[in-house]
Amino acid sequence: MGTIIEATTEQLKDLTNLASELYNGNNSEALENELKQILENSNHRFLLYVEDEQPIAFMHLSIRTDYVQGSETSPTGYIEGVYVKQEYRRKGISTKLFHEGKKWFKRNGCTQVGSDMEVDNQDSYPFHMSLGFKEAGRLITFIKDL
């Protein structure tokens, strides 16, 4: 049985290792610097799921005051990212992280929570639906060099 802790800069290396698995291809030094800045921002939280003293999952939460698609209130809680190591998936860990995150959102005046996903993320859609999210819209972005 694991425990959920709020990540601090003391867990920066562990968080960077997990995040680099999620955001594969990122420069780990740049990612570590970015995560350190985010950890120092009071509108963000990282929850770590630790089992046998090993971090195996995280959820990045934020409080947004800008526009969140589908939201009718501000501030709005937001799930910026969630990652569970492959061998620990489908065991309810991300759901436990979400329920812990909801407490933080509510303490910060949020009455709604938003999230997004990459179109090709086959695991994310059923995860969101199982938690009671409803689809607020779809967005495909484009870019062209000039």
Helix (H, G, I), strand (E, B) or coil at 4: strand
Q: Which amino acid is at 117?
A: M
pLDDT digit string, tens, across residues 45-58 = 999 999 999 999 99
pLDDT digit string, tens, across residues 115-133 = 998 888 888 888 999 999 9
In this prediction the pTM is 0.90
Question: Computed from CA positions of residues 115, 66, 7, 3, in that sequence, does the dihedral angle turn out positive or negative?
Answer: negative
Q: How far is the C-alpha of 34 from the C-alpha of 139, rounded, in Å?
A: 26
Supply 1's token pair: 């049985």
